[in-house]
Chains A and B, each alone.
Chain A
Amino acid sequence: MTADSLLRVEDLRIALAGDRTIYNAVEEVSFEIRRGEAFGLVGESGCGKSITALAVMGLLKRPLSLGGGKILLDGEEIQNASAARMRMLRGSRIGMIFQEPMTALNPLSPVGRQIAEMFVLHQNAGWSEAMDRAEEALRQVRVPSPGRRVKDYPHQLSGGMRQRVMIAIALACSPELLIADEPTTALDVTVQAEIIDLMAELCAAKGTAILMISHDLGLVANMCKRVAVMYAGRIVEAQPAEAIFAKPQHPYTQGLVDSLPRLGERSRRGQQRLREIAGVVPSIQAYPAGCRFNPRCPRASDVCLTTAPAITPLPAANSIEALVRCHHHG
């Protein structure tokens, strides 16, 4: 464990209670985020990325539960922390932003009050002081005329403005870690660019680390220093952001990088058939034995059908660890 480690997840397992059986929705997931570092977790729907974030926040609900492993925030084990302790940590030391700001905000409370609540709950501020600070927080996320906007209800704001309010709430108490789960998926592309810039800028100014969760590999690679790719409940590859596109090592990551049409590609190489990843993501009831990517993998051999590949460390670049989980990586 490095000295500047902020969040460390070790061998996390999340159990999903089915009718008769218990499935492992996430297993053997380990990663580390350093202070002030932006870390991305990428994968398709159902791969377990969002529930990994929920586990870190202590928000797993039945039928999901923590099946094993450790979660360390700044050296403190929080996987078994009490509900009261987790409520204290959430908001003050861990901030959160979700995909759809309309459902994450309270529709019956003015946005200024929802921001001010953070100062009242976590920093013992009085309401009038907290309201002043809420106005300042809105100014920081560049909401125009914040003095007027603090009185607005969420439905009076546009989608982009609501997400700015969410960022203001999440960063109100200058948390050490910001968890952003698909923060821009519900927004238009030009607004997405602004929100991402704003998040990156504020977090850099406050020294906040980011755990960014998204299905968009391009977006995550652009924003984060290090990226982990999840498939069917396991991390299959983690690399520095530049390397994940330039030198992906896992066949799944390679498939993702190759299969997306990218701007400028057609001018350079003409209209070529896109490389496809065969088949579909397996359902949790039917995870294949061995490597879970084996039914779709062009390199699958006998060993892949029987033995789940172990983690192989890759040569570290700029002292950023990298790993891949494949029998035939490279």
Chain B
Amino acid sequence: MAEPLLALDDLAVHFKVGSALAGGVHTLKAVDGVTLDVKPGECLGLVGESGCGKSTLALAIMGLIPPTRGHIALDGRDLAQRGRLETARTVQMIFQDPYASLNPRQTVRRTLADPLRIHGVTDRAEVEARVVDIMAKVGLRPEHADRYPHEFSGGQRQRIGIARALILKPKLVICDEPVSALDVSIRAQIINLLLELKDELGLAYIMISHDLGVVEHVSDRVAVMYLGRIVEQGGWQEIFENPRHPYTRALIAAIPDPFHRAAVSARAKARGEVPSALDPPPGCHFHPRCPLKADICVSQDPPLEPVAAGHRAACHFRDRIG
């Protein structure tokens, strides 16, 4: 088995919110005990609803938020031992909103060349060659290098965001909802591009998305998060065809499927909304919404246990589902 490119061991990120004077200080467990790895060249899909901790997890991997507990090992070395620049050369990020994540006062050339200079590529000809090369790779015309972000369409701007993430030749790219801000007719272009680049450059991705269709299409493995914890992880086929956690089943059941208009089985649906992460329910966090809730779910937190090779689920009834 290949050495993991990224290994998270019992990672937790907690925030203190509130003040001692007004209502007291509370601990928000945004990420709470996540153990996960990503192998070189692999795409890991990360799924969950807003507030489940996906984006906090991404920022922790980028080294932008210090973990409260646990370890992050990147390319075999602890993130805490690595310098910021060294981390930036290994892992990069693509953001959801290409309008907000590009500097409107910088030309494309500057947006792409600055990281190279910061990372010690000083030779002008080499900088220019790498800018031209990456623009061509992401499907931008190199003669547009002196344009500003507002001169591009949404899809092209996301290509600039992808080029910026790849210019330092990282091994891992975190894609945080890379197509959800784009027009529907543009999404396929960007998804195809991301998959081509993955094959061509041997990249590993963490694909964060709430669009299960996209996640199924691009992922090798999938992890499902709920209120700061991973509730199920496994190969894409396992997760989508034989989900063993009621939350995963609820997510899949919630997708409107125009080809199978028959009503989704009511038993698979989740009730209500995600509770506040400030005050998560005891035991299994999902129990207030779960159609399979029993007494044990309120009193005991189910561990993430294997259900098949490479497939784990955190549910007391994981063997009865499916």
Q: Which residues of A contact B (CB under 8 A)?
A: 44-45, 158-161, 188-194, 196, 215-219, 221-223, 241-242, 245, 252, 255-256, 259-267, 271, 273-277, 280-281, 296
Contact = CB atoms under 8 A, between A and B. Distances in A.
A315 B63 CA distance: 60
A160 B185 CA distance: 28
Contacts, number: 125
A107 to B, nearest CB: 20
Given A188-B273, A267-B241, A222 B213 contact: no
A217 B187 CA distance: 14
Interface residues of B, number: 45
A147 B111 CA distance: 55
Interface of B: 49-50, 153-156, 183-189, 191-192, 195, 210, 212-214, 216-218, 236-237, 240-241, 250-259, 261, 264, 269-271, 273-274, 289
Nearest to B191: A274
Tell me what chain B mostly uses at the interface: helix, strand, loop, or mixed.
Answer: helix
B216 A281 contact: no
Contacts of B154: 280
Nearest to B274: A188
22 contacts: A44-B183, A44-B185, A188-B273, A189-B210, A193-B264, A194-B271, A218-B258, A221-B256, A222-B261, A242-B258, A242-B261, A245-B259, A260-B188, A261-B218, A263-B255, A266-B217, A267-B241, A274-B188, A276-B188, A277-B186, A277-B188, A280-B186
A194 to B, nearest CB: 8
Interface of A is mostly: helix
Residue with the highest number of chain A CB atoms closer than 10 Å, among B183, B192, B216, B258: B258
Given A267-B237, A275-B188, A276-B192, A261 B214 contact: yes
B256 A218 contact: yes
A245 B260 CA distance: 11
A256 B217 contact: no
Nearest to A186: B50
Contact of A44 (B184, B210, B261, B271): B184
Contacts of A242: 258, 261
Contact of A273 (B50, B192, B214, B273): B192
B251 A190 contact: yes
B265 to A, nearest CB: 12
A164 B255 CA distance: 20
Given A45-B183, A265-B217, 16 more contacts: A44-B185, A188-B49, A191-B273, A193-B254, A194-B269, A256-B185, A259-B184, A260-B184, A261-B213, A263-B216, A263-B240, A263-B252, A265-B213, A267-B240, A274-B217, A280-B156
A83 B261 CA distance: 41
Given A188-B274, A190-B270, A255 B214 contact: no
Nearest to A257: B258
A280 B153 contact: yes
